[in-house]
Amino acid sequence: MTPTLGQPIDDLEFSLTGNRRAHLSDYRGHHLVLYFYPKASTPGCTQEGQDFRDAFADFTGLDTLILGASRDGLKAQENFKAKQDFPFDLVADTDEALCRLFDVIKLKKLYGRESLGVERSTFLIDGDGILRREWRNVKVKGHVQAVLEAIRELAARP
């Protein structure tokens, strides 16, 4: 079932860079930014990852962890992370389980051809595993700052 704002996220296991397995529940106790991107090492995805990387200290200062996710295999994710010096892990969602959970696989058109692909999307999950914000069909420019502002607002709540 697709996550709903204000509701808990179902737990799910997935593959991470570093050849590790993790669960969404492993991140409880911290805010989690989970961002989905179409393909590792492409221009927009690289820029988005770099923006999260460059703001990493701001996120950690707000007790927030970051995970990037795409359908790329582990080797592609490892190379992307290493080349861009990302200080956060990437998810190799080759079975599309995480993508399906968050309903980010959409019909896309490129040069008149239709195919199923990942819609650039970001989800903010609080320390209790509750979905607090979502951004779908994201435009990269200014997005990371919008996510940071949402976390600041969340942190300011009593």
Pull the structure tokens for residue 80. 């992307």
- Annotated catalytic residue within 45, 101, 148, 150: 45
Query: Exposed (0-12), middle (13-18) or buried (19+): which is 151, by Cβ within 10 Å?
Result: buried
- Positive or negative: CA dihedral 96, 118, 144, 50: positive
Active site residue 45: yes
Q: How many CA atoms lie within 13 A of 157 on its CB side?
A: 7
Which class for 44: exposed (0-12), middle (13-18), buried (19 or more C-beta within 10 A)?
A: middle
CA distance 77 to 49: 12
Q: Which residues are catalytic?
A: 45
